[in-house]
């Protein structure tokens, strides 16, 4: 039974991290509901919302790290990662994620699920707003409102730290629709920002001392396989397809979470 459980955890980590590299997200938007429902549905384990958020945060950390390394290995001209964007948003989201990770230990399981559900619906709405931002261009030509970037990243960090996410599933819509960052630069930069966010989140989770070490380890192993594969595929897919694939994934997971919350 344990062997089957560990295999399931590796597979879930692989799936979440593949979409992490593909879409520039940490993978938690997908992995949170998978970890919450799949092990229970297969009758191999039952994880509380607190345990799911902890496993998910570690998965996000290693998946985003693997994704960043994969993007850095590419010889992009011009480079896709916007260093200024990563500096401003990464610093503020890490602080917010640290706070959220520490607070999550004291929240009721249903509250954590509701926070996830609300974030997912907000993300869907933002992603459906027509993108009137810029076309793909050199990162040196891209400018953005630094105050909005810092403030939004901090708030996203707090709530994403609670649910064990890097925050990219809400950060990406903000970068696309509010800051008007081109799609491919958004995806590449968000992975770096999510990695920084996950550092704060992991520290927050460790401080609570409530970590299911073995299942987390196997989930992380799957993440290290899936993220590089996703990042390689991302360069081959049209940005519009990437954008609306993310919309569909977020919507499906939101529906599943709200169905569980409402008992439907």
Domain boundaries, the chain: 2-262
The distance of Cα 256 from the centroid of its chain, to the nearest Å, equals: 18
Blockwise average pLDDT, block size 10, the chain, 264 residues: 84 80 67 83 84 83 73 58 84 89 81 84 75 55 83 89 76 82 78 83 78 86 79 71 75 81 75
pLDDT for residue 224:
80
pLDDT for residue 92:
92
Please give the backbone phi and psi of residue 34, each rounded to the nearest 5 degrees, phi first: -65, -45
pLDDT for residue 141:
66
pLDDT for residue 260:
78
CA-closest candidate to residue 87, choices 161, 204, 192: 192
Both structure tokens of 198: 């996950």
pLDDT for residue 38:
86
pTM: 0.74
Q: How far apart are CA 191 and CA 203, in angstroms?
A: 18
Contact predicate 193/86, CB 8 Å? yes
pLDDT for residue 147:
92
Angle at 88 between CA 198 and CA 25, to 5 degrees: 40
Q: How far apart are CA 44 and CA 133, in angstroms?
A: 46
pLDDT for residue 67:
66
SS3 of the chain: helix, strand, coil, percent, to 5: 80, 0, 20
Contact predicate 33/251, CB 8 Å? no
Sign of the dihedral defined by the CA atoms of residues 215, 16, 50, 65, in that order: positive
pLDDT for residue 150:
92
Angle at 209 between CA 214 and CA 113, to 5 degrees: 80
pLDDT for residue 171:
82
Tell me the CB-side half-sphere exposure of residue 161, using CA atoms within 13 A: 34
Residue 182, number of CB atoms within 10 A of its CB: 24
Burial degree of 13 (CB within 10 A; 0-12, 13-18, 19+): buried
**Residue entry with tokens 């993978």:** 27
Question: Rg for the chain (alpha carbons), in Å?
Answer: 17
DSSP letter at 105? G
Contact predicate 172/25, CB 8 Å? yes
Burial degree of 131 (CB within 10 A; 0-12, 13-18, 19+): middle
Q: How far apart are CA 86 and CA 170, in angstroms?
A: 16
Cα-based distances in Å from 174 to 71, 80, 151, 182, 228: 21, 18, 11, 12, 25
């Amino acid at each position: 039974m344990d062997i089957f459980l560990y295999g399931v955890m590796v597979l879930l980590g692989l799936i979440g991290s593949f979409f992490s590299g593909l879409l520039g997200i940490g993978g938690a938007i997908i992995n949170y509901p998978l970890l919450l429902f799949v092990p229970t549905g297969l009758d191999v384990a039952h994880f509380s919302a607190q345990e799911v958020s902890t496993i998910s945060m570690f998965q996000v950390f290693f998946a985003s790290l693997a994704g960043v390394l994969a993007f850095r290995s590419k010889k992009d001209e011009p480079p896709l990662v916007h260093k200024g964007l990563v500096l401003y948003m990464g610093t503020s989201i890490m602080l917010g994620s640290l706070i959220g990770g520490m607070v999550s230990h004291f929240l009721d399981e249903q509250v954590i699920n509701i926070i996830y559900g609300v974030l997912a619906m907000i993300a869907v709405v933002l992603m459906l707003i027509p993108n009137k931002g810029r076309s793909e261009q050199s990162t040196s030509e891209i400018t953005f409102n630094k105050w909005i970037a810092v403030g939004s990243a901090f708030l996203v960090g707090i709530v994403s730290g609670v649910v064990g996410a890097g925050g990219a599933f809400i950060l990406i819509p903000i970068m696309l629709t509010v800051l008007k960052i081109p799609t491919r630069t958004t995806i590449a930069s968000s992975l770096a920002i999510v990695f920084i966010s996950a550092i704060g989140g992991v520290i927050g989770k460790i401080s609570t001392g409530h970590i299911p070490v073995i299942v987390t380890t196997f989930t992380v192993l799957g993440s290290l396989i899936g993220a590089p594969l996703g990042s390689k595929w991302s360069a081959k897919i049209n940005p519009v397809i990437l954008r609306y694939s993310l919309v569909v994934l977020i919507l499906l997971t939101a529906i599943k979470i709200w169905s569980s919350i409402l008992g439907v």
